[in-house]
Structure 1
């Protein structure tokens, strides 16, 4: 099984294209929750 680093996965998430009515925004991840964390918000119009 091929494993990816957390940074590689985040790069792929940031490159995701969504439908026009879906808006993704990166927000600060909670601190001290886990060794690695990434957070997004999503709005649908």
Structure 2
């Protein structure tokens, strides 16, 4: 699916509610524990 996403064949951006950098891992984990995050997607590299 990642190749299809990178080629613009599927749109997952509309499903994302949060984006975190590696420096924000503590905030991401806290939000996850509070139930603020429903799905987690980890993509190597940056846009």
Q: Above 0.5 in TM-score?
A: no
More strand by share: 1
| More RCO (CA 8 Å, sep 6+) | 1
Q: What TM-score results when the alignment is normalised by the length of structure 1?
A: 0.27
Q: What TM-score results when the alignment is normalised by the length of structure 2?
A: 0.26
